[in-house]
Structure 1
Amino acid sequence: MTAPVAAPPAAGSAQGTVRRLIVYTILFALVTIAAIGVAGLLERLFEPGDPVAGGGVTDLALSLAFALIGGPLAALLWWVVWRRLREDSERASLAWGLYLAAMYTVSLIAAASALLGAATGGVNGRWEPAAAATGVAWTMVWIWHRWMWHHPLKSPVRLATVPAVAGSVYGLVIGVGGAVNALGSLFDAAIRGASAQAIAGTPWWQGMLEGLIWAVAGGAIWWWHWYRDGAKRLTTGLAAVALIVVGVMGAGILMLGGLAFALDVGLRLAFDPSDPAAEILRPLGMALAAFLVGAVVWLHHRRIAAARSVGTRRASALGMSAVGLAAAASGIGVVLNATLAAAVSPLAASDTRALLLGGVSALVVGGPAWWLSWKPTRRVDPAEVATPARRVYLVAVFGVSAVVALIALLVVGFRLFEFGLDAASGASLVDRVRAPLGLLVATALVFGYHFTVWRRDRAVIAAEGLSVERRIGRVILVSAGETAAIEQAIRAATHAAVTVWKRAEPGVRPPGSETAGGGDAAAEAPANPDAAAVAGALEGVAGKRVLVLAGPGARIEVLPLVE
């Protein structure tokens, strides 16, 4: 009698999930160990002199152990994993997508940072063998994982777009930082003269060249992932967050911050002649560079956000409103602080004037930015009042301002008690409380206004009978071909997160299979159903997760899932 054979664990079973988690965690650790070991060996080859005697025997033994033990173990485990990826359940697992996205991002950051560090060291006339070796080792890891990411049969199904988003964000951040440094050094040399930068024998162009290297490399990384890998066209939740937080809000902070610093320099030159002009002009070059670079990046990403869904456009405006509000509130607090300081200590007019001008600059820049983004005088449509983005924004703003105001109030109380218990310490009461009092007043104004708006929105929602609850938490869309229009229609109709599962195209067969009759079984895939029809099919459907089968042809099926 033949003994029964145990069935393999189901694709979604806890056993399979735990196995994948352990395997990919070990693989991540082994690849990292092997890369560190190879980098250590390459460093000895790149260093002048004897590669065995130099650097110490202990470090050499550690590098050999990491490279010659960790490397083969990583290769063996990867071979086992790579063979299993022929199974659809393995390729579609979350662990595989998470591992590839994490290792791709880590290797890209490590390789680019090390190679750029070696390049900037060369500008300074130094050879950096450790940075060069680290860059070469991690570049090989990055190329390897990029090949797996684009493999036609074994690339991840889930989290497949994360490497493109992560690469574009990293490239944008280092590219913008390099551009600001390069342009700031150039402006500084033009404004203050090359002699002001030539401190300790450093030529004025050296900082500009270092920044230019980072700017070019970061721009290339961003361009490759943004355009070639398609991060610009992605409409996933992560891509939307990166677009709003980094491209719009981050660039907006850089732009408004640079403008505020430049305005502060101009005001100090006009109204605060106590300091030398050369000292006042010191931050102007970097401020102008930050404003120009931030403005270019902000305009580019704002244009993209404006072409996306209504929710993305609203989130972009709310993000800039938050940036302007923070700057304006900070300006109000600093102005009040400086005003109280001038009233108490007239002799310290110079320091007080500089503080006051800084607060005025923040208020002048942040106030209009908030006004143009929030538009407090316009009549808000009731449908917009009920959107989750607006309500979350209002709750977040008056919630954070309430917390900050509470902390400031505690500090004011502490200073009052301190003064009452030790009045002979020398400092006046106003001088003790002016900084936290300015912060308290500013945050109290922010809290009061946004809490009033929130209460008014609630009244409008109740009067109009609007619903602010999302009927659907997440939509799982199963379709083939291009699905961007369907995704946007679903998000606009339900405000739900959308996860796309790609269905195999008709006629596509697994590798090694043969077509019956020797003919060509591949057929052109039928078009997907109309995006508006798919969104309309979700009308009245409620559930935490809803499965939508779109296609082939005009077929649409909506299935609420049981938790």
Structure 2
Amino acid sequence: MSESTAPAQPPAAPAAVPGGSAQGTVRRLIVYSLLAVLVTVSAIGVAGLLERLFDVAAPLVAGGTGDLALSLAFTFIGGPLAAVLWWSVWRRLADPAERGSLAWGLYLTAVYTVSLVVAVSALTAAIGTLIDGRWAAAELATAIAWALVWVWHRWMLRHGRKSPVRMATVPLVLASAYGLLLGLSGAVAALGALLDATILGTSALAGEAWWRGPVESAVVLALGAGIWAWHWFRDRVRSLVTAFADVALVTVGVLVTAAVALAGVGVALWVGLRLVFDRGESVNSILDPLGTAIAGAAVGALAWAYHRRIAAERSARTRRAARLVMSGLGLVAAASGIGVVLNATLAEVAAPLAASDTRTLLLGGVSALVVGAPVWWLNWRPARRVDAAEVADTGRRVYLIVVFGISAVVALVALLIVGYRIFEFVLDPTSAASLVDRVRAPLGLLVATALVFGYHFAVWRRDRAEIAAHGLAPVRRIGRIVLVAAGDTAPLERALEQSTGASVTVWRAAPAEAVPVPGTAAVPMTPDAAAVVAALEGVTARRALVLAGPGDRIEVVPLAE
């Protein structure tokens, strides 16, 4: 029978998308959880065997035959099972649906991060033990085993055809943040130890040799700086513009480094005030925290200045978030200072003979207030006129609600404690402690948090009134956008979120295989973000489907309820 007269065949049923069902999601969760457990078991087993290999002075069955049997079982049973399961998973990742699943990204994020942290922690402990003159077989074995796991998962994360589509950069951002925190702690400890040796003198540092602390901290600094630089520059975390990268930049790069710097400045100021006004202890005792404080102030300020500059290059929302977290940090310090000053003042009234302890407490509160108040003022700038765009900004409103909400909860707890102390005093008036001495600490906290609550609640109400009066609140014509596109959709997602206020869910489209035409420019995978935003003008729907690409193709489909 010729092809032209062949009977018409019924249309083939559309191929099912693997993993699109609930069964596929559950299967992936179980498989990847099991794989993570087997990888962990295998790493523990290999570490146990390597420990016995490295510790040549100990007998083979050191610790009992049970430990050796456990290491053998974990290695030669858990290892092959992990390899078989991984091979099955790896073959499935040729399917775009498997590669684009959330479970694959979650698995690599978890194991990549955990293996890096465990390997670096064990390596740090091993080097510290070696510096102390002892062989670190267990720590070295653990570091090698988990470093192999990290290298393996990094290879999968950077694979050209099977790396995760979703959460592909999250492990890199987490590793960069971990390296920054590790390097920050090592730098503060190393510089602080050197300054302590200079300020107090090496003879005042009892115990082990004075140089061991700085050397061990320098090792931590080198490891942390190496991890941070590797991911920050080589993996280009610095240039990532994802929401998670911005959150990590603001919380770790700006907030944490600023907290370290401000804590160092506050403690250094406290020490200086004590040297002038409080000589109840020896000079060395007063100077004891000064080295670490100066180190924290210097290292934290350098790290903060660098990351603040990076945040200033990001979007307006990121810049506002960086300023708000600095405002919140200064507010916490200033409010704490107010509470401590009131506490010390009441202590002076209740027990004037305990002048030294009261003075130390008072100087601590003054230091916190002097450091925190300017930071809050410079970042919040309460005297300036706030423009309409900032009043309507979601970040500002969330900040105000969080601040006065938390302060209200803390004030309520402090009020309950004050009431409890008063009733306790009334029911037992024979106690040696006076009423003022009982309530001074919670009362100071109550007054400080009440002031914070009152001010920020008034600002929030004023902003609400201005938004209502001038119609500044954005009108959400679309509740949720389902974006179907290929390639890098991050700029398009941000543009849609900022212009419509809708939440954006991305469905990855398989890239079209275009035939190149000599002499013509390559067709972009996604259209210009401004064109997609313009296509949504006038569309009102609870949900909308946006088909973007390839090239200039844009289709907007309002979805039924």
Same fold per TM (> 0.5)?
yes
Amino acid at match of 2:423: F
Counterpart residue number, 1:550 = 548
Structure 1 residues 379-425: Cα deviation after superposition (integer angstroms, max 9, x where no partner): 11122111111111111110000000000000000000000011111
Q: Structure 1 stretch 267-276 or stretch 494-503: which is displaced more?
A: 494-503
State, as a whole percentage, how many aligned pairs show the same letter: 62
- The one-letter amino acid of 1:283's match is P
Q: Does 1:268 align with 2:266?
A: no
- The CA distance in 2 between the partners of 1:27 and 1:114, in whole Å, is 23
CA shift at 1:499, angstroms?
5.6
- Does residue 17 of structure 1 match 2:25? yes
Q: 1:442 to 1:17 in 2, by over 3 A?
A: same
Aligned ranges for residues 63-142 of structure 1 at < 5 Å? 63-142=71-150
Deviation at 1:526, TM superposition (A): 3.0
1:49-448 counterparts in 2 under 5 A?
49=57, 51-197=59-205, 199-200=206-207, 202-448=208-454
Q: Which residue of 1 aligns with 2:4?
A: none
Pair 1:43–1:24, CA change in 2 (3 A): same
CA separation of 1:15/1:481 partners in 2, compared to 1, >3 Å: closer, same or farther? closer
Cα displacement (A) at 1:53: 2.7
Give, in whole Å, the separation in 1 of the partners of 2:505 and 2:314: 17
Quick one: which amino acid aligns to residue 410 of structure 1? L
- Where structure 1 has 5 or more consecutive residues not aligned to the other structure, the ranges are 509-514
Q: Distance in 2 between matches of 1:497 and 1:203?
A: 58
Give secondary structure in 2 for the equivalent of 1:557.
strand
Indicate the residue corresponding to 1:512 in structure 2.
Answer: none
Q: Secondary structure at the match of 1:423?
A: coil
Compute the displacement of 1:547 (Å).
Answer: 4.4
Q: Distance in 2 between matches of 1:494 and 1:267?
A: 53
Q: Paired residue for 1:28, among 28, 36, 50?
A: 36
Q: TM-score, normalised by structure 2?
A: 0.92
Tell me what 2:527 maps to: 529
Distance 1:542 1:33, change over 3 A: farther
After superposition, the C-alpha distances for 1:5-58 in whole angstroms (9 at most, x for unaligned) are 998674310111111111111111111101100000001001123552323210
Alpha-carbon distance in structure 2 between the residues aligned to 1:327 and 1:189? 29
- Note if contact 1:333-1:438 (Cα within 8 Å) is conserved in structure 2: yes
The 1:542–1:99 alpha-carbon spacing in structure 2 relative to 1, beyond 3 Å, is farther
In structure 2, distance between residues paired with 1:502 and 1:61 = 47
**Structure 1 residue 540: Cα displacement:** 4.5
The code of the aligned residue for 1:301 comes to H
Letter in 1 for 2:187: A
Name the CA shift for 1:323/1:179 in 2 (closer, same or farther; >3 Å). Answer: same
- Is the Cα contact below 8 Å between 2:341 and 2:366 reproduced in 1? yes
Q: Residue 309 of structure 1 contacts residue 488 of structure 1 at CA under 8 Å; is this kept in 2?
A: no
> Secondary structure of 1:549's partner?
strand
User: How many angstroms apart in 2 are the aligned matches of 1:31 and 1:527?
Assistant: 38
Instruction: Kindly provide the amino acid, as one letter, of the partner of residue 40 in structure 1.
Output: G
Matched position secondary structure for 1:44: helix
Q: In the TM superposition, what whole-angstrom CA distance separates every residue of 1:105-161 from its partner, at most 9, and x where no partner exists?
A: 111111111111111111111221111001100111111111111111111111111
Tell whether the 8 Å contact from 2:242 to 2:490 is kept in structure 1 after alignment: no
Q: CA deviation at 1:555?
A: 2.7
In 2: Cα distance, 1:42 partner to 1:436 partner: 54
Going from structure 1 to structure 2, the CA distance change for 1:220 and 1:496 (only over 3 Å counts) comes to farther
Change over 3 Å in CA distance of 1:6–1:495 after alignment to 2: closer
CA spacing shift, 1:256–1:401, aligned 2, 3 Å: same
Q: 1:134 to 1:476 in 2, by over 3 A?
A: farther
What CA distance in whole angstroms lies between the structure 2 residues aligned with 1:543 and 1:5?
31
**Per the alignment, do residues 534 and 302 of structure 1 end up closer, same or farther by CA in structure 2, a change over 3 Å counting?**
farther
Q: Which digits, 9 at most, give the CA deviation of each residue in 1:276-312, with x for residues without a partner?
A: 1111110011111111111111111111111111111
Please say which of residues 373-382 and 47-56 is displaced more in the overlay.
47-56
Are the counterparts in 2 of residues 549 and 558 from structure 1 also a CA contact under 8 Å?
Answer: yes
Contact 2:17-2:97 within 8 A present in 1 as well? no
Q: How far did 1:368 drift?
A: 0.4
Secondary structure in 2 aligned to 1:424?
coil
Rounded Cα–Cα distance in structure 1 between residues aligned with 2:377 and 2:60: 66
Counterpart CA distance in 2 for 1:469 and 1:401 is 31
* Aligned equivalents of 1:543, 1:255: Cα separation in 2: 48
Code of the residue aligned with 1:110 in structure 2: it is: V
Q: Distance in 2 between matches of 1:220 and 1:477?
A: 38
In structure 2, stretches of 5+ residues that fail to align are 1-11
Using the size of structure 1 for normalisation, the TM-score is 0.92
Shift of 1:227: 1.4
Partner in structure 1 of residue 3 of structure 2: none
Cα deviations by residue, 1:316-363 (Å, 9 ceiling, x for unpaired): 111111100000000000000000111121101110000000000000
Q: Secondary structure of 1:405's partner?
A: helix
| Coordinate RMSD, CA, aligned | 2.5
Does the CA contact (< 8 Å) of 1:244 and 1:316 recur in 2?
yes
Structure 1 counterpart of 2:234, which letter? R
Counterparts in 2 of 1:540 and 1:366: CA distance versus 1, 3 Å = farther
- Local SS of the residue matching 1:204: coil
Change (3 A) 1:239 1:6: closer
Q: Distance in 2 between matches of 1:176 and 1:544?
A: 46
Q: Hey, what's the Cα distance between the residues in 1 that align with 2:315 and 2:241?
A: 9
Alignment partners' CA distance in 1, 2:306 and 2:399: 24
Q: What is the Cα deviation at residue 481 of structure 1?
A: 5.0
SS in 1 for 2:555: strand
Aligned residues of 1:180 and 1:286 also touching (Cα < 8 A): yes
Q: Helix, strand or coil for the counterpart of 1:308?
A: coil
> What is the CA-CA distance between 1:250 and the residue it aligns to?
1.0
The letter of the residue matching 1:222 is W
Q: Secondary structure at the match of 2:211?
A: helix
